[in-house]
Structure formats: C-alpha cells, structure tokens
Structure 1
Amino acid sequence: MSWSIGKAWRRVDGVLLLDKPTGMTSNSALQAARRLFSAAKAGHTGTLDPLASGLLPLCFGEATKFAVDLLAADKTYEAELQFGARTATGDVDGLVVERCPVNFRLADLEAALPRFRGTVRQIPPMYSALKRDGKPLYELARQGLEVDREAREVTIHELTLLDFSADRCRLRVTCSKGTYIRSLAEDLGKALASLAHLTALRRLAAGPLAVSDAVTLEHLAALADEDRRRWLLAPDRLLQSLPPVYLDEDDALRFVHGNPVRSGGLPGKCRVYGGHRLLGLGERDEQGSLRPRRIVASA
C-alpha cells in the first residue's frame, strides 16, 4: 500500500500509538505515518525489529522532545519460542546453525522460568544496534564477525507461560529497558539443555501506553484527515508517570524563557503547566527551585 500525501509538510504536535505490522522496520512505519499526517517533524520512542508487531509510540512536533522519557519505561511483550534449533540471529529470520532433539517436558519448562525472573545478566546478541568502535554490532555480524559482549543486568518483572505444545511455547514478558527477548529465548533453551529461537514477538505495552489503544497504518490511511487527527494524543501523554506542577502567569512566563522558578514539592522531574497548557519538563532541586529541562514551543 502507498502512504502518499497530497499536501505540504505542516506542524503537527502529538503522540500516535501505532500498531506496527510485522515485516516493516520502525523507521519505515514512522515515515509512513509521518506522510499520512504531513508532519514536518517526527520520531519514535525506540525501535521494534521487523519481525515484531505491536505498540510503536510515534511522536510528532513538540512531542519529540519527550520521546527519550519513554525509552526507559518497562515494556510488555508476548513472545513465541521454538525449541530444538538455534539461528544466527536468534530469531526466525536467521539461518538455522544448530539443531538438537527436544527432550524436556512441561514441568521442566515451568521449573526453569523462575531463574529468569528478577534481575538477570544477559549478553546482548550480535544482531543488535549496540555499537563497537562506532559500528553497530549487526554490521559486524553481517560480515561474519563476532566480538565479545559484556553481560548487562536487566530486570524481568513478569515471565508467564501462556502455552506449551511439543517444541513451542508462548510467554508474556514485562521487562526493563535493554532486555533482548531473543537473548532470553536462547538462554531459556540452554537452561533446558536444548536450543531455542524467537519465532514471533508482539509488544503489548510501553510504560502506561497499551497496544489496545493503538491504530494500524491501514486504518489511518482509510480515514479523512480530520478523523485521522483524532488518533493523536497530547504530547504530555508521554509524561503521565511524572507529577504535574501548575504555575501562575508570571512564573509560567519565566519558565518558558528558560529561568528557574520557586516551587514546593519533592525534588525530581515533573511536567509543568501554565493554566491548562503544557509548558515542558522541569526538575526540582533540593532548594525548591524548578528548573526548565525541555520547553514546549507555543503554537
């Protein structure tokens, strides 16, 4: 399907919860949505592999200033694993490089899962965007090279078995930033004296945002422009985990000009409003000063 537009780029501010299809890169999905909205500025809050489907929050205009705040949020996935085979990429898109019989039972799988809950150490896969000497690891992997990767601590808050049949299982995973579900699949296979790779992945949630509230590109393309814009959420939807601070007119003016203002409350980041308008992201210090960190440009 073609995601063409018939108008010039324009300022669009907001957050779009996109249900990304499989087989499409996150950047391709972003550019397709950008063209549908004719948005002059756009970005996403962290990539999903082409294999994966599900929630991909996209930011337009001033909302792009807050995209980084969702990168650190916990994510929830539904993952399908196949046992008995290891692939070069850790998922179904890679060539099978090793096979083995599947000899474990359901009880063995259930007994193995607890060791992957909580804080665990995980070696990032070679087919990842992490960089070594300025080069993404996946570029080195495509050249047939493999380099040592340091294990990193990640947190798996939830790991629930949804289904198990012969050599496949489905898992629900809620995890911290930096967790690789492909690595989890391979590590689980090793724990069962087997091999495993990821065959399907769907992101269900990112922080407080859920795929149940998302829309597909096909649906957006079929809508009139006015109806399409109704899918855009306010930029502060990305900041709902932060406490709000409301400033009077004088302090609001100081804040948007980059000056600190006095504000009570606990230290830390907060979303700042002047009246009902989002002014930006602020951070309180121990002395009660509220300092601007990111400021929303007025329309």
Structure 2
Amino acid sequence: MQFKRIKRHVNGVLLLDKPLGISSNQALQIVKRHYQAAKAGHTGSLDPLATGLLPICLGEATKFSHFLLDADKSYRALVRLGSTTTTGDAEGAVLSTAEVDVSLLQIEQVLLKFTGEIEQVPPMYSALKHQGKALYEYARDGVEIERPARRITIHGIRLEKFDIDAGVLEIVVSCSKGTYIRTLAEDIGCALGCGAHLGGLRRLSTAHFQLQDAFTLEQLEAMSAEARDDILLSPDAAVADMQVVKLDDDSAFYLLQGQAVWKPNTRIDGLFRIYRESGEFLGLGEQDASGKIAPKRLVVIKA
C-alpha cells in the first residue's frame, strides 16, 4: 500500500541559490518536497542556464510573492562578443560570427547608451504568451511572432571585466522587472557591430534580498528538518519595504473578521503592513475613503 505524504502548513521565505541546469520550477518542486509544504511558489523565473538568487515563498508567504516578482533585480552577466545564437544565449545554435574589434572606450560608451529607460523587444525564447501559447513554443516550431517593444529601466551597468582576446565582457546589471538580460547582451553586441550572446547569468539580488544570504540545494539537503525551518524568513520579509501600522487586540480582532477599523492620526498612501502591538504580522491593508484601515491581504497561520 502506498501512503500519501502529509503536507505541512509551513510559512516563510527561503532564499535559494538556484544551481545551473534546472528550471526555476524544478528547483521549486525540490524545495517544496524538502519542506513537505502544502503550498509554494517562486518569485521570478531563472532559465536553466542561469544561477543565483531565487526567493521561494511557502504557505502564507505566497500571498506576497508578486511583490518580489515585480521588484528590481540585479545580475552578473557574461556577454560573449562575436557570435549570435538562435536563443540569444549559449544553449542555442550559432547564427552568425564576426571579428571582434572594439576598444574599452567603445564598450563603455555603448553600455552608457543602454542605461536609463529604454525600449526592449522580448525574445522569442521566452515564456510570454501569444494567443495562450508561450513564445518559446512558437520559436521551437520555427515560427516568428511579432513582439511589441516594452519600456524597461536599466538602473546601472557596471563593467567588471573585458577580455579582449576571448571577446568576453562581464557586467553587473541593475534593472526593473521585465528586463531580459539575454536581449540586452544581443543589443550590446549589435551596437558594437560584432554581435553577441549571453554566455552565463547569475542573479545577485531581488528587491532587498541578497545572494550572499541564500542557501544551495546541497546545503538544504544536508540540514535537519528543524534547521530548514530555522532558515526560513517570516512571510512579511517579502514586503519588508512597506510602512507599518500597529493595532491593538480589539482592532486586530475586527480586522481579521474582514472589517475596516479606526486608527487615529494615521495617514498612509498605498499598501502597508499591519501588526498587532505584540508584533504578530496580520497582513496588508490600506486606508479606505473614510480613513479607516481596511484589510487587503491577511495571513492565516495554522498551528
């Protein structure tokens, strides 16, 4: 007889250092299995070719995962000059090659052109949908779909290394959501006149989370169940940048029933975190037209 594994109501955020060669969803399923979690979700896909920070939300923390999905991120990228590929990265077949004859000054000038608000055309090899079907599915069938350019923001590009003999750039990119680093690599190569593709990618940060605080799957595997629970950040870690409102026990009781409550001398625009005065996180709220604190997304922590 095969017994069904009991799922746990575990809540929190795991900072995972995703390894090379597996998808974000595969990494998510491994983490979910380690924790025997009833519910889990990641906060922004990394391709199998990419490694680095992948915050994974468990249980009630999944209610706030979209804030991390929409957050700014930073990456270390390896850009290989002199060749383009079908996928824009090292996994694709080579489309064209060219001699690399560029100077450090040219590279610095080109990188500066891609800083700030820019227009970027999403790659065909992406999970964006067209008529309910992912673009990469069309690409695998040899079908090209017209994609409108999207406005993104590159907050900064820092040149870490330029190996002129190998034709390789190493850059650190800080950017807004929706930025495709492989497209940025291709566009840099195009601007330099020699073509390029993304040779490697490592995510360094998501919102206020940093890669140096993340754990590998090997580390997770070696831990006891208690140790794994201990490294989880609390569900409110995903929204730590928001302002805070504290409620007394009476107000908290009615808020948890879905009712708006009064909080004198409070005026905050947009969403904010709500806590009991004892420190217990209750969820997110916002002020309604009358000035009351209205619940928007509450947590339910089961014992």
TM-score (normalised: structure 2): 0.95
2:286 matches 1:276: no
**For the Cα contact (< 8 Å) 1:268–1:285, is it kept in 2?**
no
Amino acid at match of 2:294: R
Please show how residues 1-299 of structure 1 align to structure 2 within 5 Å: 8-166=6-164, 167-263=167-263, 264-274=266-276, 275-285=278-288, 287-299=290-302
Residue 289 of structure 1: how far off its partner (Å): 2.2
**For the Cα contact (< 8 Å) 1:87–1:95, is it kept in 2?**
yes
Q: Could you tell me how far apart the structure 2 residues matched to 1:43 and 1:232 are?
A: 14
In angstroms, what is the RMSD of aligned CA positions? 1.2
Q: Could you tell me how far apart the structure 1 residues matched to 2:125 and 2:255 are?
A: 44
- Count of aligned residue pairs for this structure pair: 294
**For the Cα contact (< 8 Å) 2:89–2:198, is it kept in 1?**
yes
Residue 231 of structure 1: how far off its partner (Å): 1.1
Deviations 1:94-149 (A, max 9, x none): 11111111111111101111110010000000001111111110110010010111
* Higher mean C-alpha displacement, 15-24 vs 273-282: 273-282
Q: Which runs of 5+ in 1 are unaligned?
A: 1-5
Q: Could you tell me how far apart the structure 1 residues matched to 2:122 and 2:270 are?
A: 31
**For the Cα contact (< 8 Å) 1:128–1:138, is it kept in 2?**
yes
Residue 8 of structure 1: how far off its partner (Å): 2.4
Identity of aligned residues (%): 49
* Higher mean C-alpha displacement, 98-107 vs 285-294: 285-294
Amino acid at match of 1:216: T
Q: Could you tell me how far apart the structure 2 residues matched to 1:26 and 1:248 are?
A: 41
SS of residue in 2 equivalent to 1:268: coil
TM-score (normalised: structure 1): 0.96
SS of residue in 2 equivalent to 1:262: coil
Residue 284 of structure 1: how far off its partner (Å): 2.1
Deviations 1:52-106 (A, max 9, x none): 1000000111011110111111001000000111111110011111111111111
SS of residue in 1 equivalent to 2:178: coil
**For the Cα contact (< 8 Å) 2:13–2:56, is it kept in 1?**
yes
Residue 230 of structure 1: how far off its partner (Å): 1.3
Amino acid at match of 1:279: L
Deviations 1:255-282 (A, max 9, x none): 1111112231222100111231111111
